[in-house]
Amino acid sequence: MKKIISLITCAMLALSLAACGGATESVTTQTSATQETKETTKETEATVTEETNASSEDTTAEQSTESGKDVLVVYFSATGTTKDVAEKIAKITNGDLYEIVPEQPYTSDDLNWNDKNSRTTKEQNDSKARPGIASGDVSFDGYKTIYIGYPIWWGEAPRIMDTFVEKYNFDGKTVIPFCTSSSSGIGRSGKILAENAGSGNWLDGKRFGAGPSEDDLRSWISGIQ
């Protein structure tokens, strides 16, 4: 009887050990499956991160301006005519605007072209005059095209435009001058600015009267090569 009981006990022990072994194996299997899953997840995460990094690098290369825009419209305007044109160009081209603000604002006396001693007459008679600019520095980084606008004063660009173009490096930029006037054409004003800038691919500019329509501006812009 004792023998039978010990035989049964041994058989039960053997069975329960075998069952434990199976359970351990299955836990191990689950663990390694989990590890595999984690590793796969890690790989996936790494790939996504890399792709995300790569795509953000691509994005940076495509849009390196803070605003993500390709076009910058720079302008100086003493009485608002050129400002209006600049704003319309920026709207049409989805560009950013930068206003050249003089350190010393031009008063109506300063703008009196009938006065030989007015500030503007003196400045335009002095090709070396370089009026100061109060507006903060602008970065050209990321812009492909820069429109640059001004009123015609005595057949030329105001001297403050020379202050501006001599301060910046236009390398790699397409620069498109535009101006407003009562009747004079753009003349050599864009070419002189290009010479004084000494860098950039300056295209022929265009003169406008007061308040050109957006359609007129659009057809000029779409025809620019």
Ligand X SMILES: Cc1cc2nc3c(=O)[nH]c(=O)nc-3n(C[C@H](O)[C@H](O)[C@H](O)COP(=O)(O)O)c2cc1C
Contacting residues toward ligand X, per CB under 6 A: 77-83, 111, 113, 120, 151-155, 180-184, 210
Shortest gap between Cβ of 222 and ligand X (angstroms)? Answer: 24
The residue among 68 and 80 lying less far from ligand X, judged by its C-beta, is: 80
**Alpha-carbon separation of residue 76 from 5, 98, 148 (angstroms):** 109, 9, 8
CB 98 within 8 A of CB 162: no
Shortest gap between Cβ of 80 and ligand X (angstroms)? Answer: 5
The two structure tokens encoding residue 154 = 């005595």
Which residues sit opposite 72 in a β-bridge?
96, 146
The residue among 91 and 199 lying less far from ligand X, judged by its C-beta, is: 91
Q: What is the DSSP string of 56-109?
A: HHHHHHH--STT--SEEEEE--SSSHHHHHHHHHHHHHT-EEEE--BSSPPPTT
The residue among 158 and 200 lying less far from ligand X, judged by its C-beta, is: 158
Shortest gap between Cβ of 185 and ligand X (angstroms)? Answer: 8
Shortest gap between Cβ of 164 and ligand X (angstroms)? Answer: 15
The residue among 152 and 197 lying less far from ligand X, judged by its C-beta, is: 152
CA 134/CA 100 separation, integer angstroms: 8
CA 66/CA 148 separation, integer angstroms: 20
The residue among 77 and 145 lying less far from ligand X, judged by its C-beta, is: 77
